[in-house]
Amino acid sequence: MKLKSILGTVAALALTATAATAEIKIGFAAEAYPPFTAKNAAGEWEGFEVDLKNALCAAMEEECVVVDVAWDGIIPALLAGKIDAIVASMSITAERMETINFSDKYYNTPAVLVAPKSMDIGPDSLAGKIVGVQVSTIHQNYAEKHFDGTEIKTYSTFDEHNQDLTAGRVDAVVGDSIAFADYLASAPDMEVKAELNDEEVFGPGVGVGMRKEDTELAAKFNAAIKQIREDGTYDAIGKKFFDFDIYGG
């Protein structure tokens, strides 16, 4: 009787799981990152990367399904096969390239240091201060490499360190200039202190993350990115959200 019930449970499990068909599972970071990905009040994803994903999948003529994964588990999820591609504003870095593969970049924006207007600090005067960064990001790498004598607090989402900046628990934060736009608009007493540059840490830009063995998928994504850049789709999407070319130099 017990064996039957075990088999029955496995069969039930099999029914509930969806077979991995030819569709591509795109991993979004579960925590929103406006204006690239954000959940609206109806529970749907919207944003630059959402439209970009739709355009890329149309260009590749593939069916794509979005899977939400917590940002700090998104690369393991890719390696474990839960998702096939990461479209979550993930920067192309040498460190990540050791484990995963990237497509060509699809946007590049600078990183900035943000702090209260009332504080007169910059990237060189952070000794003894507390800086907030999102975990597992190029911003964390930059802060750890350049800010000596500074306490670096890591947060699992972009939003949380901004929250603590407002609350005053951190003195400054490092993050993507565009992602800050939303926050700075709602926090008038904060400002961008400096733009940060380090080619080695920041890499060429943001790309689609894939498993190393999926070379075919990478080729498809690269072709799709090229196509939408050439036929104007990329610019059309960019114009919806930004008044400058986000592709970067």
Partner 1 sequence: MDWSWLPEYLPRFAEGLWLTLQLLFWSILIGMSLAIPIGLVQVTGPRPLAWLARAFTTVIRGTPLLIQLWLIYYGVGSLFPSIPGIRESFLWPVLRDAFPYAVLAFSLSVAGYEGEIMRGAFRGVPKGELEAARAIGMSPFQVLRRVWLPRALQNTFPTLTGEFILTLKATPLAATITVFEVYGIGSIVRQETYKIYEPLLFVAAIYLCLTGILVLGFRYLENRIPKQSRS
Partner 2 sequence: MENALELLALSPPGWGGNLLRGLWSTFQIALGAYALGLALGLFGAFGKIYGGPVLRGALTVYTTVIRAVPELVLILLLYYLGTDLLNMALTSMGFERMDISGLWAGIYVIGFVQGAYSTEVLRGAFLAVPFGQIEAARAIGMSAFKSHWRIILPAMIPFALPGLANLWLIATKETALLAVVGFSELALETKQAAGATKSYFMFYMAAAVLYLALSLASTGVFALIERHFRRGQPSQS
91 binds, among partner 2, partner 1, none (CB under 5 to 8 A by kind): none
* Per-residue DSSP letter, 72: G
42 binds, among partner 1, partner 2, none (CB under 5 to 8 A by kind): partner 2
Closest to 74 (Cα-Cα) out of 29, 130, 20, 13: 29
Taking the alpha carbons of 158, 73, 234, 42 in that order, is the dihedral positive or negative? negative
Largest Cα separation within the chain, whole Å, is 73
Instruction: Report the nearest approach of partner 2 to the CB of residue 41 (Å).
Output: 4
Taking CA atoms, 160 is separated from 135, 156, 183, 189, in Å, by 11, 7, 11, 18
Residue 99 or residue 197: which is nearer to partner 1 going by CB? 99
Asked whether 114 and 193 are in contact (CB, 8 A), the reply is: yes
154 binds, among partner 2, partner 1, none (CB under 5 to 8 A by kind): partner 1
Asked whether 197 and 176 are in contact (CB, 8 A), the reply is: no
Binding residues for partner 1 restricted to 65-84, rule: CB under 8 A: 72-73, 75-76, 79-80
Asked whether 29 and 72 are in contact (CB, 8 A), the reply is: no
Instruction: Report the nearest approach of partner 2 to the CB of residue 213 (Å).
Output: 14
Residue 77 or residue 194: which is nearer to partner 1 going by CB? 77
Instruction: Report the nearest approach of partner 2 to the CB of residue 1 (Å).
Output: 9
Binding interface with partner 2 (CB under 8 A) = 2, 5, 9, 13-14, 16-20, 25, 30-32, 34, 38-43, 68-70, 73, 76, 80-82, 157, 159-160, 163, 186
32 binds, among partner 2, partner 1, none (CB under 5 to 8 A by kind): partner 2
3-state secondary structure of 69: strand
Residue 212 or residue 240: which is nearer to partner 1 going by CB? 212
Report the residue from 163, 177, 222, 227 that binds partner 1 according to the rule CB under 8 A: 163
What is the number of alpha carbons within 13 Å of residue 38 lying toward its C-beta? 13
